[in-house]
Chains A and B, each alone.
Chain A
Amino acid sequence: MLKAYMILSILLFSIGVVGLISRRNIIVIYMSIELLLNAVNLSLIAISADMADSSAQVMSLIIIAIAASEAALFMSLFVVLFRNRASLDANLFDILGNKHA
């Protein structure tokens, strides 16, 4: 049973990584990051059930709290970026890469 959960969690993590790399909308990128964290949560809970040790469940609770604070930061990021550029397309934000900016 643990094996199935782990495979699912690795799949979720990979989907998150692919989404993060290939998507251009910043909200979708943020959702991919949440997917990464939740993939880890899932496997932690599966391990905790398998080993009959509840400390991994506490860990996943703490990770949820960290993800929530990350969500707050990303919300503020959306507001700041949208105010400046009126768009959330990640490709628009490239002035720092330019040499003569």
Chain B
Amino acid sequence: MSNEFIALAVPALLLFSAIFILLFGFSSHYTKNRGYFITLATLFIAFIISANGVGTKYSILILPDIFNSMVVYDTFSATFISLFLLGGFLTLAIAKSFVDKTNFFTHESFVLLLFSLFGMVVLTMANELLTAFIALEIASMSVYILVGLNKNSLKASEAFFKYLLLGSFSASFYLLGMMLIYAQAKSTNLDVIAEYILHTELHSQLLIIAGSMLIMITIMFKIAAVPFGAWVLDVYEGASLPITAYMAGVFKIAIFAFVLRLFLKDYITFDAIYDPLIIGGALVTMFVGSLLAVIQQSVKKMLAASSVVHSGYILIAFASIGEATSSAASAIMFYLFAYFISAIGAFGVLSYISKGSDKAINYDDLDGLAKTRPIIAAALTIFMLSLAGFPSTIGFIGKFYILTSAIEAGYTFLAFFGVLSAFVSIYYYFKVVMHLYFKEAGHVEVHYGYKVSLAFIVLSGVVVLWGGVGTSLLLDIPGINALNELSRYSIESLGF
């Protein structure tokens, strides 16, 4: 398959399938199961197609005459696209009982899921600020509605309200920043802006610097970095568990994919100006995130708060991107792989346990799960270890690369604070493990979900472990080296 074909086929497939389900939902032949399997099949086929583009190094502009060099397909976007599709597939596959039991998850929900994936796919391929904004809005508007799907629940509608309001507020800053950049560089194409920045003196491009900072506000909002991430706890709590998993595992990574491209292409020249801001942001994000995670009573809110801490870790690598470009950039990619699979798995276990009900899972609900459901307990333990960065899981390798890149860039104190908040995170992650294994079950309750969902949870657990210990010396399955190589190729395909 030629790369151009892949780049056009994946979004087209998602879009057509979404429109098909939208129409099919009104036919009398439609059942929820059929909609569910059509969506899964679409995601799977799209994943197979896009996985073909991973592995070799290339960068092509898609139909430059028609799209005016606004869309670019390279190893970088191919890798991320495969990741989103896999994430969407896993979320949906684990959430089978949720889809069956809830009456508000109608055919429109599948459509919204596919539309949001379409937006993310275009977002990673965007090489122009306005294209990126449109794609970002397609994705986030679909996610806004997914958050508020349960329209009879007060919590869900409130989460919808807060997310929509703050999301549109922050989006207007992106537009303001884009306007300022356009006013000076006379273009919104990332390559043209990069060219302009290189050939102009630093102190005479104030508008670009100000505009880039305004764009950073939107991005900080979307990744829930601390000064702008006040919405994250409320929205994650109000949304249903599979949707929370989707937001934390997939949507966040889509934003990071775009930021990484933006940073490596344009911002890297302003490194000296941005570094203090990003360092401050990373420190505050890790500190406040850890504080929030420690005081939470429910596991879902704890995971939501800890996702803020993970944004902080990634910001460390963003701060070091100017001094140690290639190692920091590939560290970010590796960390995103690690966080993606662990978060999807952890939230997936929660949604498997809750069986589609609306209740928030408290620590007490996990008591004695190791006796009644040992496989689930073991899987959840693996995900917790990986999120905490315990050796022999993929999370450890991710943290290792991030901290190494920070030291390589000369920010030893940042690495120190990273390790410190990793220590704190042991407390709240191991609290889950403690409740799983060392508490007696207060109530005898055996949960039965679908075996398929369980299989996917176990599969994610195996991936987490294999990503931590796997080398091609043991078995010829892609492990650490392959992932590392993949992230290096992706960064190199951007021109670094």
Contact = CB atoms under 8 A, between A and B. Distances in A.
B182 A47 contact: yes
A70 B429 CA distance: 38
Nearest to A2: B183
B176 interface: yes
A contacts with B: majority SS: helix
Contact of B165 (A29, A40, A63): A29
B222 to A, nearest CB: 16
Given A59-B130, A95-B154, A66 B137 contact: yes
Contacts of B160: 77, 80
Interface string B147-182: 010011011011111101100110010011011001
A68 B160 CA distance: 18
Contacts, number: 85
Interface string A37-69: 101100110010001010010010011001001
A69 B137 contact: yes
Nearest to B151: A80
Contact of A56 (B137, B145, B172, B182): B182
B161 A47 contact: no
A81 B154 CA distance: 8
B291 to A, nearest CB: 14
Main secondary structure of the interface of B (DSSP, over half): helix
A77 B168 CA distance: 13
Interface string A72-99: 0110110011011100000001111101
Nearest to B237: A96
A74 B164 contact: yes
Nearest to B144: A73
Interface of B: 130, 133-134, 137, 141, 144-145, 148, 151-152, 154-155, 157-162, 164-165, 168-169, 172, 175-176, 178-179, 182-183, 186, 188, 233-234, 237-238, 297
27 contacts: A20-B169, A33-B169, A36-B176, A37-B175, A39-B176, A40-B175, A40-B176, A44-B182, A56-B182, A59-B130, A59-B178, A59-B188, A62-B134, A63-B175, A66-B133, A77-B160, A77-B161, A80-B148, A85-B154, A93-B162, A95-B154, A96-B155, A96-B158, A96-B159, A96-B238, A97-B234, A99-B297
